[in-house]
Each structure stands twice: as structure tokens, then as C-alpha cells.
Amino acid sequence: MKLKFFAIAVCALFAGFFSALSVNAQGVIVPIICERRPCLPRPIPRPVPIPNALPVKSIQITTKINGQVATTHLEQVFRNDTPYTLEGTYFFPIPETASIVEFAIWENGKKLVGEVRSREEARRIYDEIVRRQRDPGLLEYAGKDLFQASIFPIPPNSDKKLEMTYSQVLKAESGTVAYRYPLGTGRNLWNRPIPSNENVRRNMPAQKFGTISGKIEIIGREALRNIYSPSHQVEVKRKGETTATVSFETTSNDNDFQLFYGLSNNDFGMSLLTYREPGKDGYFLLQISPKDNITESELVKKDIIFVLDTSGSMADEGKMEKARNALLFGVRTLRDGDRFNVINFAGEEHLFEDKLIASNAESRRRGEEFVKKLRPSGGTNINDALRAALRQFDSSDRPKMLVFLTDGLPTVGETNVEKIIKNAQEIKVDGLRMFTFGVGYDVNTRLLDKLAEENSGTADYVEPKEDLEIKVSNFFTKVNSPVLTDLDLDFGGVQTDLMYPRKLADIFKGSQLTIIGRYRNSNDLNNITLHLKGKTGRETRTFNYSNLDFPMRADKNDFLPRLWATRRVGWLIEQIRSNGENKELRDEIVDLGTRYGIVTPYTSYLATDGSFQIDGEERNNSNMVIGRRNSRSENRPMPKSTPSITGQGAVLASKDAKEKQEIVTVTGDSENAFIVDGQITLKKVGSKTFYLENGVWVDSEFKEEAKMPETKLQFASNEYFDLITKQKELAQFFALGEQVVVVWKGKVYRITK
């Protein structure tokens, strides 16, 4: 068999088509039935229909990045579950600067390497397929260098394995190197709605996306910093300062795999990502991480007090034993020069020592003995234990940490939550970080959340199904080695707002601080210098980062608006939980939730007839779906919702708000949660969210009453293709289907059949 494949380059006619995916995109095989050669362009109906695209059985990605040159090797296996011999056209948009090293197809256990054909012929074939298929999903396969291969034969009920190797030079902007591999592109071809006809549904092969695994080895010329993926949960293994391996595995093809990293030999490396649409606020993500080879002398000595609830309820389900082991871990990992104390409480508090003592081998041994003797009994006097712990701190310049762990509600002494919070406020401790842990569901989340929020810390909860010992021990490992505290960041004249976290956390050894916010300015700000100030013990140091850009337009990193919105929603929910609900906060949560497709306690349900309902009751987030607000519901009154402060619902709501405020990935809520009558009703494309209303994909930003200028086009008409050529960004949105409403640059584009 002679194998032919084609490489398509940009031409004037298709510039709009291809540049919609100037980054690489996932390979797809568009099949037709072959009973003879050449294949019939429009095969007659069959008892078993052929899919729009062959399902993917597996993808294996192996990439090596040396300096900023990346070589990617792909093994992709497709499955033909039909009883027919098929011929397929394989599409794979590759990066703008990439070049194909090798492409091969496996046939009967043999690897067949292909030969390059003319780009003009390849482009002509692509043109014919796109217009003949009349399939909007094909618009996703647009890129400045689209690779195409003709695949024949694809035997019935068999696999077809393809291999590709390409190399590219990665760009670095504002000190950050970006690598991208396409996984999300093509979902509109192989993730078709489930047919409503039962006979068709029964005969159609299931199109399930297979396993995806990736391994990326990075070798830098300088130390690697801020290794980060916004799209996938990754495992990072470091080998020295300049080498790391990043790996991931998933069964979802919703997002392209994206990876960012910085190169810096400074004590603290900084990376910057930006995104901005014309005429709108910009978004930025800033990451700061310390060097790996920090010496003991560079670590900041800290003061820490461990407060443990030893009331009778801690005897249940082995909680006391797990808490004791976690506390022992915390004591044992203290460094020489730290100061510490241990307080346990039930009806009254008991102190290991009258004051903070220096950590050394002897004091840690005695601390362990104290912890080992702790036994559960009595009630829960949170107020007195908390006040006793706060009085331990003095006016030193050290970082001050208080770890407070309880499994119950206040039952002894002062039991009024508001008074307990007020009593804690009266004892001023400058620079305090309070970390609260609630064990189980019988805790007051308002109390623990408020104490942490007002003292620059975090509240966390250990559910019955979780391992208390592991969770608390992991926390102790994280905070054991502070390297920079009391942070202050000067953006050098850039106008920023709504940054999260609202208060900059300390930087610990092996950690990574991620700051997400918005920026606005009336012109491009290039070569900006940012100034980071912080304390290393008593010494205050300033670090300068130059050559950073905050542009008026930045087309890449379109995940940033949704990432920012999720953190904003988490913060707003936390304000409602801490301070009570008001209309302004609730309305903003609903607006952000519907615009960006974020599940919140104040979301709505969109039925297939376009109706709109508000659900004001608090419930498990896994049961919530969202829908687009339309003009018919805009003025409908919303029922009041009073958040619970105790019980399982309160704990889950608090954890959800915290997770949203700390989110760094945009994998988002599974689209399986938004299926009505066998159809996916929500899709996220770039920074936009679309809802399916009466068979039309409608942009969440669209409002009938806005009376914006509107352009109406028939799907696949000459005017339709001309518009994509001129407005190349629209192709990714038009790929949703034959009926789409898009708001873009102040105009509405309505695509009809």
C-alpha cells in the first residue's frame, strides 16, 4: 500500500478558517464508506450509520522540551466499530512554527511512513470536504498549518493506529514559556447529541473518548519555576533545578492541554500571563515561587501554637487517635529555633507550657509526651481555649501561626458564636495567621470561617470519609518552612482590581503563590517593572521583575476570565456566608455563574423550551445546574436563601467556596451535568459560554433587550465563509452548530439553517 499525506499552509482565501486554531489541535478522522475505489462521496443510507468522526480509543503524548525547542511524539488509535470498510481523511492542525518530522500509519503490524504531497492539492481537498460535509465541527480544524492525510483502508471492527512527530520553538512572553497540545478541538465532531430515535440510537456505535496520557520532559537553561497547567491535574517530578517531568492522564477531551513554566535563577521566580479582548478589562495570572535549594539559614523562624479539641466526641470513629498522630507529626517537624506550645481543651483548657518555648530535641520530646497522654472527655469550651492561645503570642517579628482543630459546637462557657468572635477580636495579635480545622459535620462553619478570614488564614474541614491524620499532616508539611512573609506587591503603575487572594499569603518552601486579577489601562504598558516586598525574619527585602507586558489586546490565555470569575464567585459566596445575603452579592453571583458556566448555590435550570427557573434553596453542588437568564425571567423575584452554618450542607458549601477561591485549573464542571433529553445543553468555547435554547446555541452575553447591531447569515453560504475569512476568531464559535448566536466586538452574529 502506498501512503499519501498532505500538509496545508495558509493562503489568502482560507486565512480566516485556519487562524482560528493557530495553536495545535487534536487529530480526527472523517470517514466515508468504501465499497469500491474511488469512494462514493455521498454513501447511501445504511442500517448502521457511520459516525461523523471515528471515536478515539487512546492518545499517548511524549514531549521533550530542551531549552525552548519542543519535540512532540503522538500515538493516536482510532476505532472503526462499523461493519464497513472505511476511507478517512485525517486532520491535525499543528502549531504555526512547527514542522513535521515524521508521520506513519500502522497496517497489519507494520509501520508505513508517508510521503509529502503538494500543499495546493491538500488545500483543495480540504476546501471540498468542508463545503461538501456542511459540518460546522470541521471549522475547528482551522490553523495556519493544517496537516491532512488520506487513510485507506480502515477495516471493519478494527483499530487504526497513527504516529506523528513534530518539532516547534516555544515562545516566551513576560518570562513565561508556553506549551500546548490540542485535546479539546474536535469535540463538536465526536461528541454528538444522543439521537432521539430509539432505532437509530440502538444501532449507532457508542462514541466514547478513550484514555489520554501525556509525559513532558523539560530541560531548562536556567532554573525551572512556576510549572503550571491551567487545564489538567498534573504530577510534577523535579530532578535538580533545571529538569522536571510533567505527566497527566485523563479520559476527557474537553480542554487542550496547556503547560506554562518560567526560567529564572533568582531567589523568587515570577511568571505572568495576560488576556484581554478589545474594549474590555484585561485579566492576569501572576505566579511566584522560591528557589528549590533553600538553605536552613534562609528559612524564617516561626511561632506556632497547636490547639486541639479533646472533648468526649473526639472518641468517636477514632478521631482522637488520628488527631493525636497528626499533632505529633506537627511537633516532630518543628525546626530548631522555632517556638511552640500545645493546648488541649474540653470543658477547660490545658497548656503544655505557660508560654512559648524554643524548639529543640528536648522540648520536642516533651511535647510529644504531652500529646501522647491526651484523652477525650467532657464538653467543648472553644472561647476560653481560643483566648488562652491568643495570649501566648508576644510582639516579636516572627511569623505567628495558630492551628485550631475541633470536632464540635461550643457547649461549655461562652456558646454564643458572635460573642466568641468578638472576644477573639479583642486580643490583638499583629501578623497572626489562624488556620482552623473542623472535623466532621457537627461544627459551626460560620465561627471557624470567620476566625480564619479575620486572621489571614484559612478554614478547612475534614469529612467523615476523609483521613484526618493525612490531611492535617499535609498542612503541617506545607507551612513548616516559611521563606517570605508579609508580602506587598507594587504593580508599577498598572491599574489592577479585584485580585484573589485578597490578602497575599506567605510563601513557603516548595510552594507556589498564584494571584489572579483584572487590569485596565488606556494604552499598551510594556516593559513594566513589578516590585515584590516581604520579610525574611526581621529583614525586609525587595525583588524587582522587569520586562513585563500588560497589553491592550492579548488573544492567548482565554481561560483567564473564567478562572478569575470562579475565584470571584468563591469570594462572594464566602461574604454571604460570613456576613449575610444581600441582593447585590446574589445578583453578581448569578450573573457570573451564567456568563461563565460556573455552578453556584444561586444557579438556574434551563429546560429545552428555554424556560428559566431560580433555585434559591441551598443543596449539594453536585445537584446544581445552570442556565442562561433570559428576558422573560429578568424581573422575576428571587426567593431568599439563608445559608446553613452547621451540618453536612454547611461544611460542603464552605469547602466549595474555599476551593473556588483557590482554583488554578479550568477543567470546569463536567458537561455531563448539563444533559437534557440526551442533549448537551451547555458548552464553553474560549472565554465564552453557550446555552442550547430551542436548538440554537446562544452566547450567554446575548440579551434581546440590548438591541445590538445584528448580522444574520445562512449556515455554509458564501457570505458565511467570507465572514469567517474576515473575522477569523468567529470560526471557533460557529463550529458549535448550524444555528448559533454570538456576541462579538459589540455586534450580534446570528447563524441560521
Query: For the segment 508-529, what is each residue's pLDDT rounded down to a tens digit?
Result: 988 899 999 999 988 888 889 9
Grid cell 519535540 in the structure block, residue? 71
Q: Are residues 216 and 290 in the same domain?
A: no
Is the domain of 487 the same as that of 408? Answer: no
Q: Which of 435, 464, 479 is the last residue of a domain?
A: 479
In a domain, 442, yes or no: yes
Which residues of the chain are modeled with pLDDT < 70?
Answer: 1-25, 33-48, 114-127, 129-131, 133, 137-138, 140-146, 184-210, 252-254, 603-643, 667-679
Same domain for 464 and 351: yes
Other beta carbons less than 10 A from residue 390's beta carbon = 22
What CATH code is carried by the domain that includes residue 380?
3.40.50.410
Question: How far apart, in whole angstroms, are the C-alpha atoms of residue 87 and residue 683?
Answer: 30
Contact call for residues 53 and 133 (beta carbons, < 8 A): no
Specify whether 86 is located in the same domain as 228.
Answer: yes
- C-beta of residue 276 within 8 angstroms of C-beta of residue 282: yes
What is the predicted pLDDT for the residue at 279? 82
Is position 203 within any domain?
yes
* Domain match, 312 and 451 both: yes
Instruction: Specify the number of domains making up the chain.
Output: 4
Residue 626 in any domain: the answer is no
Which cell numbers hold the place of 678?
A: 440526551
CB neighbourhood size of 549 (10 A):
14
> Among 559, 588, 612, where does a domain finish?
559
Residue 432: CB atoms within 10 Å = 19
- Provide the terminal-to-terminal Cα distance of the chain, rounded to the nearest Å: 41
Say how far apart CA 266 and CA 534 lie, in whole Å.
15
Smallest Cα–Cα separation from 548: which of 288, 246, 39, 174?
A: 174
Residue 397 lies in a domain: yes
Q: Which residues contact 663 (CB under 8 A, 6 or more apart)?
A: 563, 566, 567, 570
- Has residue 690 been placed in a domain? yes
Any domain includes 566: no
Using N-to-C axis directions, what is the helix angle for 445-454 and 560-579, rounded to 10°?
A: 120
CATH of the domain at 514: 2.60.40.1230
Collapsing DSSP to helix, strand or coil, 228 comes out as strand
**179 and 196 part of one domain:** yes
Give the Å distances, CA to CA, from 309 to 108, 192, 342.
67, 54, 11
Q: Are residues 315 and 291 in the same domain?
A: no
Q: Which of 435, 453, 479 is the last residue of a domain?
A: 479
Are residues 261 and 275 located together in one domain of the fold? no
**Does one domain contain both 487 and 464?**
no
155 in the same domain as 275: no
Q: Say if residues 436 and 401 touch (Cβ distance below 8 Å).
A: no
Residue 579 domain-assigned (yes or no):
no
446 and 459 share one domain: yes
Please check whether residue 460 lies inside any domain of the structure: yes
Please give the model's pTM, rounded to 2 decimal places: 0.84
Say if residue 400 is in the same domain as residue 536.
no
Q: How many C-beta atoms lie closer than 10 Å to residue 666's C-beta?
A: 21
Q: Which residues contact 722 (CB under 8 A, 6 or more apart)?
A: none
Question: In b/e form, how buried is each residue of 497-517, taking b as 16+ CB within 10 angstroms?
Answer: eebbbeebbbbbbebbbbbbb
Domain hosting 155: range is 4-38+46-265
